[in-house]
């Protein structure tokens, strides 16, 4: 039986801290292994990533071209069929409000996409922003209906 006084770290997992600045003979005296002066020898010193000594950085020298669709992409909250199977009874009308109340989705106002992961045995009336092809097949085979909102 292990008791509190028997607990100790695994062998080799702990190390003594390097004692810096303890005199010339220690090998880590005077400048404490940091070389001589300068920003790198100071607490919190050093330069930020991408700093090129004051020269115009490459990220600002190169021209910016092209188009990125990220600003206009449709963002969906994803819900799988197995979650709907667990939370709703047969014949229930499932929309974003009902999913939010059942704690399946976390945010209101962001459209929901229903995916086909899991099995659906109940006939549900599901209203969502989008459906995957597999989810549509499973909903219809279970006798349910779907509506794109």
End-to-end CA distance of the chain: 61
| DSSP helix/strand/coil, 76 | coil
pLDDT at 25: 92
- The yes-or-no verdict on residue 1 having pLDDT over 90 is no
pLDDT at 124: 93
Domain positions in the chain: 81-148
91-138: pLDDT as tens digits:
999 999 999 999 999 999 999 999 999 999 999 999 999 999 999 999
50-98: pLDDT as tens digits:
999 999 999 999 999 999 888 899 999 999 999 999 999 999 999 999 9
Q: What are the helix (H) ranges across 67-141?
A: 81-87, 96-101, 133-141
pLDDT at 2: 86
pLDDT at 52: 95
- Asked whether the beta carbons of 106 and 68 are under 8 A apart, the reply is no
- Give the list of residues 6+ apart from residue 75 with CB closer than 8 angstroms, or none: 110, 111
Q: Sign of the CA dihedral 82, 87, 93, 96?
A: negative
What's the CATH number for 81-148?
3.100.10.10
pLDDT at 10: 94
86-102: pLDDT as tens digits:
999 999 999 999 999 99
Output the pTM of the full model. Answer: 0.56
18-52: pLDDT as tens digits:
999 999 999 999 999 999 999 999 999 999 999 99
């Amino acid at each position: 039986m292990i008791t509190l006084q028997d607990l100790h770290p695994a062998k080799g997992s702990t190390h003594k801290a390097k004692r810096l600045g303890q005199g010339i003979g220690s090998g880590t005296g005077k400048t404490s292994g940091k070389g001589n002066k300068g920003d790198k020898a100071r607490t919190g010193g050093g330069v930020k990533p991408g700093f090129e000594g004051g020269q115009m950085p490459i990220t600002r020298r190169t021209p910016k071209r092209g188009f990125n669709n990220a600003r206009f992409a449709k963002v969906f909250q994803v819900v799988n069929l197995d979650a709907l199977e667990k939370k709703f009874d047969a014949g229930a009308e499932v929309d974003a409000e009902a999913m939010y109340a059942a704690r399946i989705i976390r945010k209101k106002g962001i459209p929901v996409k229903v995916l086909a992961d899991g099995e659906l045995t109940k006939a549900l009336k599901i209203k969502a922003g989008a459906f995957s092809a597999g989810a549509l097949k499973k909903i219809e085979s279970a006798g349910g209906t779907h509506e794109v909102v």
